[in-house]
Amino acid sequence: MPVMDGFEVVRRLGGPIPSIIFVTASSEHAIQAFEIGAIAYRLKPIAEKRLNTALERAREPRRRPLGGAQRVAATLNALGPEPSIGSSKTVVRRGQDYYLLNLDEIFAFQAEGEIVWAHAEKRKYRATQNLRTLEQRLSDSPFRRVHRGVLLNTDKIRKMRSLGSGRWLLTLANGLEFTVSRRQAPMIDRVLRCGK
């Protein structure tokens, strides 16, 4: 949009706030969109079926956000330029749909090239942030780097086995297994000593 973005449009709305659907070419603002009460966040090119599904959701009265535009505008302003959902939740996607998951639902984040997967108990989702950003954001959480491409929730470790040469094999509660690199092996000592 040449003059203002969608968030600025929401800030300037007066009267009752409508249902909000974001259609964009970028996934980077999904967190902010969900924080202001968007009912859908779709990436271009959008399939007609997905757009129709979002429009149907918008027509359902129970889905409409409560309160007026002023409340939403105040929320947006409070978020500032670097919106964050804090350290207890993360936004992930599966296909064109975005999900807001509690971090305790995530067992591990695993990078495969440019893609980062968020492994939950029974399925995996595509993360909306790279591994380095996730590691920085989750520095005060149970998530620890165990390998160059793996950030693991240490609360989900159920079994540890030494592979020798300073490497470990970790088995998570959902059966996923990850190898701890020699470089990250001191993390195992911390897990054994204090559970984190």
pLDDT in tens, 57-67: 778 764 444 44
Instruction: Label the pairing between strands 124-127 and 115-119.
Output: antiparallel
96: three-class secondary structure by DSSP: coil
Most confident of 23-37, 82-96, 176-190: 176-190
CATH number at residue 185: 2.40.50.1020
Question: Final residue of a domain: which of 46, 79, 112?
Answer: 79
Question: Final residue of a domain: which of 79, 112, 144?
Answer: 79
Residue 173 predicted with pLDDT over 70: yes
Note whether 75 and 105 are same-domain residues. Answer: no
pLDDT on residue 82:
37
* Count of structural domains, the chain: 2
- The CA distance from 172 to 191, in Å, is 13
Decide if 96 is inside a domain: no
Decide if 75 is inside a domain: yes
Note whether 120 and 75 are same-domain residues. Answer: no
Decide if 23 is inside a domain: yes
Decide if 86 is inside a domain: no
Up-side HSE of residue 192: CA atoms within 13 Å toward CB?
A: 11
CATH number at residue 40: 3.40.50.2300
Residue 24 predicted with pLDDT over 90: no
pLDDT on residue 174:
94
Position with higher pLDDT, 180 vs 77: 180
Decide if 1 is inside a domain: no
Domain span holding position 107: 101-194
- The CA distance from 37 to 76, in Å, is 10
Decide if 158 is inside a domain: yes
Q: Residue 191 is encoded by which pair of tokens?
A: 């897990």
pLDDT band of residue 98 (cuts 50, 70, 90) is confident
